[in-house]
Amino acid sequence: MEPRIDRSPEVADEIKTTTCYMCACRCGIRVFLKDGQVRYIEGNRDHPVNKGVLCGKGSAGIMQHYAPSRLTAPLKRVGERGSGDYEEISWDEALALATDWLGTTRSKDPSRLAFFTGRDQSQSLTGWWASQFGTPNFAAHGGFCSVNMAAAGLYTFGGSFWEFGEPDWDRTEYFLLFGVAEDHASNPIKMGLGKLKERGVKVTAINPVRSGYGAIADEWVGIKPGTDGLFVAALIHELFEMRAIDLDYLVRYTNAPWLVIQSQGSADDGLFARDEEGNPLVHDTSTDALASGLLADVKPSLSGEFELADGRRAVPVFQLLAERFGSGAYAPDRVAAQTGLEADVIRRIARELAEAAFEKEVVLDIPWTDWAGRRHEKMIGRPVSMHAMRGISAHSNGFNTCRLIHLLQIILGSIDCPGGFRYKPPFPKAIPPHLKPAGKLGSVQPDTPLAGAPLGFVEGPEDLLVDEAGDPLRIDKAYSWDAPVAAHGLMHMVLNNAAKQDPYGLDVLFMYMANMSWNSSMNVQGVLDYLTAKDDNGDYKIPKIIYSDAYFSEMVPYADLILPDTTYLERWDCISLLDRPISEPDGPADSIRQPVVKPDRDVRPFQDVLIDLGGRLGLPGFTNEDGSAKYPGGYPDYIVNHERTPGVGPLAGWRGEDGSQYGKGAVNPDQLERYIENGCFNTHHLPDGQRFFKHANADYLEWAKSVGFIGSTEPIVFQLYSEPLQKFRLAAQGHGDIQPPDHHRRRIDMFFDPLPFWYAPFEGAMLEDGDYPLHAITQRPMHMYHSWGSQNAWLRQITAQNKLFMNREMAKELEIRDDDWVWIYSHIGRVKAQVALMEGVNSSTVWTWNAIGKRKGAWALDDDAPEATRGFLLNHLISELLPERDGGYRYSNSDPITGQAAWYDLRVRIEKADGDTADESLPRFEPLRRPNAPVTPDTLTFGSQFREGAQ
Amino acid sequence: MHPAYSVIFFTTASGAGYGLLCLIAGAILFDAVPRSTSFGLVVFALALGLVTAGLLSSTAHLGRPERAWRAFSQWRTSWLSREGVMAVITYVPAGLLALSWSFGGGGDSATALERVLAVLAILGSLVTLYCTGMIYASLKTIRHWHLGIVPINYIIFGVMTGAIAFLFLLNLFGVAGEGYVWVTSLLIAVGLVAKFLYWTKVDAAPPVSTAGNATGLGHLGKVRPFEAAHARRNFVMREMGYTVARKHVARLRNIVFLLAFGLPLLGVLLGLVGGTIAALFGSFFALVTAAVGIFVERWLFFAEAEHVVTTYYGAEAA
Amino acid sequence: MTSLPQTTEKKLGLVIDLDTCVGCQACVTSCKEWNTGGYSAPLSDQDPYGADPHGTWLNRVHAYEIGEGARSQAVHFPRSCLHCEEPDCVTVCPTGASYKRAEDGIVLVNPDTCIGCKLCSWACPYGAREYDYEVGVMRKCTLCVDRIYNENLPEEDRVPACVRACPTGARHFGDTGDPESDVSKLVAERGGYDLMPEMGYKPQNKYLPPRPRQNMKPAAPVEEAQRAPTTAGSALERLFSWADQQLSR
């Protein structure tokens, strides 16, 4: 007799939908609740992001939610910074203290507050709060994440990868994946790869390391870090050679035919020739005359030199492009050695791209109307698609490399066509989006909101945030000559600059969810010094630090006031189209989080606290005219009732009093209810005729304007040649009112090339090759995200120690074997780590899993946890500044255009740690102490309560 | 395989116990030992005590010892269950024989009933030992164990250690004869040969599986672990992934030859050349060294055993 | 109950696609999450925040590299109970706690009668059984027997948690004994195979091998035919003469 088993046990008392926060992917989840506890979390089948699946992180959410590292009450520092001496205080006291510090600062000089949020998913609120406060010093973590990616895309074709667009997984015939992508856009890419595998589509992975997605790729191209741009340029060269270029597409949708003034030494050299209305000019072959390039009925030339009305000469962008890429400079044979690839491989991949694009054309029988009102019966696409993320982005040449990738996509005619790379609304946007950074000289005033948003897109030197001397106005030097196109700010430079009081000192540093004293910083020891640096009076150089986090991270002990946040299952949130959207190519989407369980600790959601503080400080956006708080109900109140512009609020769905409107409409008091009824998200499905060619699709543009995504129905013309960049170059060459200080001129002139190009990453180029012959890079394991994974009792069972992965052949030369301990030297220090050998890594590259190494005492782990004793960070080796050279100005270790932290530029040397035989990683820091630290259990039997309950 | 001391103690002790039971029962069967209450009590107490201690010790290996009684139910398929059942059954003739022979009075010659009980006790002991051996020998996953010789060895080593113990007790009670010395020596020699044969077989046996086979991917090339499935050793690694260095194996094998067979043989043979005291001490010495030797042998039996599952964890073959 | 059923009505199992698995661990943690509160509750964890964190899991994903150098490849390899047709792990069980269900072929451990002797784990070549150090019983994949028939779940969710979670669709669930089932067809089409067939356990789970990599043929130089019609002039001039067709916006 088989035992009788209950095949249909009750699995939940209640199932609540909400949005995952185990990474930045923001999947829809269904949380099973039993006896008031979280029993199970699964993906929501209806949700646009994950369509039911859930990754390894999301499925371990329970352990995150119940982690002993959770903070339990507000804390006030009573000892020295870093000492861990705190006292628990009440929320009343905490908020009064914060209000006092912030209010004083605001009345004196709002820019002496720096408000930086890390893994923030409420940037439309936090940014708005900063601007209401009046400080330009706001950004999230994009500056050390992927601003190169976002900026290059938005300055080239009005979109980008990930949240901005994705491959047409159902139709693409070739997929090129650049760099590490495993830890972001986690589920959509996995689901997409699954589809490609099912259809037998070739996947090519360009990555120095073969792991994760690369493992299932048909071809792994183990390129040298930082040379992807060279590889892409060689592909472009080959496509020019093969004439595998979609000229029709270039003429229709790009500025390829626009004429560029050729007048060396003039103030408008290299700018577009324009007519009196400011329209860019082309040469119309049908009339052999100049005409506005925006007209529909021109037949523009792509090459030739044409005379302008003033007698000067101008050439089409295409000609400049062809001269750059058609010549031999980027020929595969020329780039092979530098990229570490065989020229034949590059040539073959170019052929495969051409074959997929031009011989596997995708035709959909969907009529549509283009921007000029012309009806097309079919949608015809070139089914080649690509994806890139931080592997491209986190290099000092990342902006240009990413521009090269987009150029490759565009010359193949594969942007927003069937089978190609598709925008996710609200993208495409104008190139660049019409939103300039606020905080210009003289505009920051006491007790006054900022005139606009702190972050935006500069179109020329006139938009920079610099003073008369050309020095930065922002604490992170964003939008200065250091990093003119710093669209996401430079969070990685804030502590450095603030402690050095360069460009000025701060009164209050306010941070949220950013582990800046550990794995989110370059040069950890330096950052710890900055956090604890004191002036001659014995006062901290960064006088006040307020920090909000849900967990006892390495950052917590360095703050003066800690505002404990909730876990993601205890909070309201809003994934807004005003922020980083979760849309699909077939329509925009947004979503909410709702609290599915109540906090059992004295913690509050950070956004509630921020709104509360806004009211207490009397910030205009957060108070009524009588001075009372505008959103007494906290974040949910704000989500429903806040209007950024009339009719446009944080959520686009179910607007209007009866909930019948989308995008624009009056406040709907039942909006959150409607979201919850729908599974905590809203998707708007575009009609078939609007699904592709959105940049030039009349119906789409019309609709997008009506809901406020874009400001005009003009087609969005891809900027292969970027005029804003040329404007900066002209300034560096001595033109215009706003010019860089002399020490910046050479750099701006060199790197602000209006056409994309490749240059060697800075750190490697500045160091003697022989001293640091190896590249060192990192990636996060797919099942972990940032530092969060290690406090998770389940996830850390999968990875609790990181090793330094080396190529087996290379290790043989160095006489290094598996599990040996080695010293990794960079130009600023050394780290001791244990080695693991592998085949699938470029032979001049070493790598490791990021953010596994932990400081003792953090994250509620025991002091002898492998994360602390054997794990390590490469962050100790990455300088936040470029190597010193001849005593000149030291730039940050960043992309010269966007300021993106170039932490993948790291160069190292490996030596066997023969003298040091202890089985432990170095450097070691004093263990952190936590007040009222919880006693962590020796054994977990989570789930036994549900079984007992069932019996 | 992880050598669990409770299991090692169990098989060593109960092996000796059943061996001793066989010897006393055999001696009774063939009227080769004078009937004596005290001797009977001591011998049977030791035999059944060793068996019982071993069995009890084995429950220390269980996660839920309070449920151990359930182990008697699956004798149709499970050698472990059969072992349990046989162990219990064997108590019956052994116990009755002990009572009858120790307290039943009568002459030196065994009664017919005692002879029947003796035969049953011997059969029960041998079958129990065989079952114990078969627990290991039935496992296809471990080539060091999945051998016909394994249960035979369990029987041989049990009887051998039992015989040494019996010889010691005979000496203690001053009733040992030269025949016992020869029988014991013969058993030790057989044990030595058996162990030698076992190691010869094991060393020659090809691996059951390889990493290529385990993953089914060997046709693509050499399969090497890249990232482990978990950070620390899990149960499978702790239980099945135990390894002992090759050089230690060689040394330990020599120790087994010496302790389990060589020295005991010398000790036993001392009974032929020395007086009764020498014989007593010799057999005691033999008993102690054999016990230690078999304990090491049993430890090595586990430690040397390679489980095929290790091929998922980096072993090229097992 | 350790005698195996003569036949089973179904042979339910997983079909795991090694060509598609990226090693994301979704199946691993979703399995842990479901089962630590389900039929096998709990799956305990030892030293969860300490030096030696380890616990009971029913599914693990290994990563392997195969071959050397540029010709090598990487494979992620999920490993759980294969629900064999003739599993020794069942027959060695002294208590009957381990058994194979006649209805669907699922191999289960009854947590209420298991004595924790660990012998079944010795008998399993696949490392599918893990001992729960806290509870003292053996745990193994239940194929989510408390999901796949569960009338409290919507019908489409009546699949094992790992299958439900898998983002790449590398895991399939069905009756591998029915040649007409979707999974059997997949196995036939893709050359699905058994792990360690030499053991003779006849797994009901099957593995689909990595597909041959595409387009690894050596590159040929660009064929002249693909270049522009040969006209006089430099390479760039020829390019421009090709490009300057009558193109309209």
A450 close to A443: Cβ distance less than 8 angstroms: yes
Q: At what angle do helices B149-172 and B276-303 cross, to 10 degrees?
A: 160
Partner-chain residue, chosen from A68, A212, A240, that has the shortest CB–CB distance to C239: A240
Partner-chain residue, chosen from C52, C61, C93, that has the shortest CB–CB distance to B229: C61
CB contact under 8 A, A864 and C165: no
Partner-chain residue, chosen from C42, C50, C222, that has the shortest CB–CB distance to A241: C222
Residue A819 has, within 13 A of its CA and on its CB side, a CA count of: 3
Residue given tokens 């006393």 in the structure block: B24
What rounded mean pLDDT belongs to chain B?
95
Chain A closest CA to B236's CA: distance in Å?
14
CB contact under 8 A, C22 and A193: yes
| CA–CA separation, B9 and B298 (whole Å) | 9
Supply the DSSP string of B244-288, one letter for each residue: --HHHHHHHHHHHIIIIIIHHHHHHHHHHHS-HHHHHHHHHHHHH
A456 close to A438: Cβ distance less than 8 angstroms: yes
Q: What is the pLDDT of residues C150-199, one digit of tens each?
A: 999 999 999 999 999 999 999 999 999 999 999 999 999 999 999 999 99
Partner-chain residue, chosen from A200, A783, A794, that has the shortest CB–CB distance to C24: A783
CB contact under 8 A, A798 and B229: yes
CB contact under 8 A, C125 and B229: no
CB contact under 8 A, A866 and B231: yes
Chain B closest CA to C162's CA: distance in Å?
16
B-chain residue closest to A848, CA distance: B227
Chain A closest CA to C209's CA: distance in Å?
11
Q: What is the pLDDT of residues A613-653, one digit of tens each?
A: 999 999 999 999 999 999 999 999 999 999 999 999 999 99
Chain C closest CA to B150's CA: distance in Å?
16
What is the rounded radius of gyration, in angstroms, for the C-alpha atoms of chain B?
22
Q: What is the pLDDT of residues A496-520, one digit of tens each?
A: 999 999 999 999 999 999 999 999 9
| CA–CA separation, A223 and A111 (whole Å) | 43
Token code pair at residue B161: 């250690």
What rounded mean pLDDT belongs to chain A?
95
Q: At A165, which amino acid appears?
A: G
Q: What is the pLDDT of residues A379-436, one digit of tens each?
A: 999 999 999 999 999 999 999 999 999 999 999 999 999 999 999 999 999 999 999 9
Q: At A494, which amino acid appears?
A: V
Chains that touch B (3 or more CB pairs under 8 A): A, C
Residues of B in contact with C127 (CB under 8 A): 236, 240, 309, 312-313
Q: What is the pLDDT of residues B230-284, one digit of tens each?
A: 999 999 999 999 988 888 999 999 999 999 999 999 999 998 888 889 999 999 9
Could you give phi then psi for residue A613, rounded to 5 degrees? Answer: -60, -40
Could you give phi then psi for residue A930, rounded to 5 degrees? Answer: -125, 125
CB contact under 8 A, A800 and B231: yes
Token code pair at residue A817: 């074997």
Residue C195 is predicted with a pLDDT of: 96
Residue closest to A472 by CA, chosen among A497, A455, A453, A508: A497
Q: Is the peptide bond before C42 cis (omega within 30 degrees of 0)?
A: yes
Residue C224 is predicted with a pLDDT of: 44
The CA-atom distances, in angstroms, between B242 and each of B300, C128, C155 are: 11, 17, 44
What is the rounded radius of gyration, in angstroms, for the C-alpha atoms of chain C?
25
Q: What is the pLDDT of residues A136-159, one digit of tens each?
A: 999 999 999 899 999 999 999 999
Residues of chain C numbered 173-212 and touching chain B (CB < 8 Å): 193-196, 198-200, 207, 209-210
What confidence category does residue C235 fall into, taking pLDDT thresholds of 50, 70 and 90?
A: confident
Residue C225 is predicted with a pLDDT of: 42
Of the residues C9, C45, C49, the best mutation for testing chain A's interface (the one with the most A CB atoms within 10 Å of its CB) is: C49
Chains that touch A (3 or more CB pairs under 8 A): B, C
| CA–CA separation, A284 and A300 (whole Å) | 4
pLDDT for A841 beyond 90:
yes
Q: At what angle do helices A147-156 and A398-411 cross, to 10 degrees?
A: 40
Could you give phi then psi for residue A655, rounded to 5 degrees? Answer: -85, 175
Residue/partner pairs of A364-370 with CB below 8 Å, 24 or more apart: A364/A418, A364/A692, A366/A688, A366/A689, A366/A691, A366/A692, A367/A689, A368/A689, A368/A690, A368/A692, A368/A693, A368/A697, A368/A699, A369/A689, A369/A697, A369/A698, A369/A699, A370/A693, A370/A696, A370/A697, A370/A698, A370/A715
pLDDT for B193 beyond 70:
yes
Q: What is the pLDDT of residues A12-34, one digit of tens each?
A: 999 999 999 999 999 999 999 99
Q: What is the pLDDT of residues A317-371, one digit of tens each?
A: 999 999 999 888 999 999 999 999 999 999 999 999 999 999 999 999 999 999 9
pLDDT for C222 beyond 60:
no
CB contact under 8 A, C30 and A3: no
- Strand intervals (E) in A248-303: 259-262, 281-284, 289-292
User: What is the distance, to the nearest Å, from the Cα of residue A432 to the centroid of all Cα atoms in its chain?
Assistant: 17
Q: At what angle do helices B112-137 and B149-172 cross, to 10 degrees?
A: 140
Chain C closest CA to A289's CA: distance in Å?
14
- How many Cβ pairs closer than 8 A exist between chain A and B? 18
A565-579, A829-843, A919-933: least confident range: A919-933
| CA–CA separation, C20 and A191 (whole Å) | 10
| CA–CA separation, A329 and A236 (whole Å) | 11
Residues of B in contact with A796 (CB under 8 A): 231
Residue given tokens 């006209």 in the structure block: C231
Chain B closest CA to C220's CA: distance in Å?
26
Residues of C in contact with B139 (CB under 8 A): 88, 92, 122-123
Token code pair at residue C203: 């797994």
Q: Is B229 near chain A, with CB under 8 Å?
A: yes
A183 close to A787: Cβ distance less than 8 angstroms: no
Residues of A in contact with B231 (CB under 8 A): 796-801, 866
Per-residue HEC secondary structure of chain C comes to: CCCCCCCCCCCEEEEEECCCCCCCCHHHHHHHHHHCCCCCCCCCEECCCCCCCEECCCEEEEEEEECCHHHCEEEEEEEECCCCCCCHHHHCCCCCCEEECCCCCCEEECCCCCCCCCHHHHHCCCCCCEEECCCCEEECCCCCCCCCCCCCCCHHHCCCHHHHHCCCCCEEEEECCCCCCHHHHHHHHHCCECCCHHHCCCCCCEEECCCCCCCCCCCCCCCHHHCCCCCCCCHHHHHHHHHCCCCCC
Chain C closest CA to B52's CA: distance in Å?
18
* Enclosing H/E stretch for A389: none
What is the rounded radius of gyration, in angstroms, for the C-alpha atoms of chain A?
27
| CA–CA separation, C35 and C7 (whole Å) | 27
Q: At B212, which amino acid appears?
A: G
Q: Give chain B's end-to-end CA distance (angstroms, integer).
A: 11
Could you give phi then psi for residue C165, rounded to 5 degrees? Answer: -85, -30
What rounded mean pLDDT belongs to chain C?
92
Residue A377 is predicted with a pLDDT of: 97
What ipTM score was computed for the predicted complex, to two decimals? 0.96
Q: What is the pLDDT of residues A522-532, one digit of tens each?
A: 999 999 999 99
Query: What residues are paired with A832 via a beta bridge?
Result: A823, A922
What confidence category does residue A948 fall into, taking pLDDT thresholds of 50, 70 and 90?
A: low
- Strand intervals (E) in B148-199: none
The CA-atom distances, in angstroms, between B247 and each of A426, A542, B243, C59 are: 69, 61, 12, 35
Residue A904 is predicted with a pLDDT of: 96
Residue closest to A782 by CA, chosen among A800, A794, A797, A799: A799
Residues of C in contact with B309 (CB under 8 A): 124-127
Residue closest to A650 by CA, chosen among A51, A128, A132: A128
Q: Which range, A585-589, C213-217, C238-242, has the best average confidence (pLDDT)?
A: A585-589
B103-112, C54-63, C135-144: least confident range: B103-112
B-chain residue closest to C89, CA distance: B139
Q: Is B230 near chain A, with CB under 8 Å?
A: yes
Residue A886 is predicted with a pLDDT of: 65
Could you give phi then psi for residue A529, rounded to 5 degrees? Answer: -65, -40
Strand ordering across the sheet containing A174-178: A219-221, A202-206, A174-178, A384-388
pLDDT for C1 beyond 70:
no
Of the residues C6, C135, C247, the best mutation for testing chain A's interface (the one with the most A CB atoms within 10 Å of its CB) is: C247
Neighbours of B224 (CB within 10 A): 19
CB contact under 8 A, B232 and A797: yes
Residues of B in contact with C92 (CB under 8 A): 77-80, 135, 138-139
| CA–CA separation, A745 and A891 (whole Å) | 13
pLDDT for C247 beyond 70:
yes
Query: What is the model's pTM?
Result: 0.96
Q: Residue A172, class by beta-carbon neighbours within 10 Å (0-12 exposed, 13-18 middle, 19+ buried)?
A: buried
Q: Is C227 near chain B, with CB under 8 Å?
A: no
8-state DSSP, A575? E
User: What is the distance, to the nearest Å, from the Cα of residue B227 to the centroid of all Cα atoms in its chain?
Assistant: 40
Query: What residues are paired with A206 via a beta bridge?
Result: A178, A221
Query: What residues are paired with C62 via a beta bridge?
Result: C77
Q: At A767, which amino acid appears?
A: L
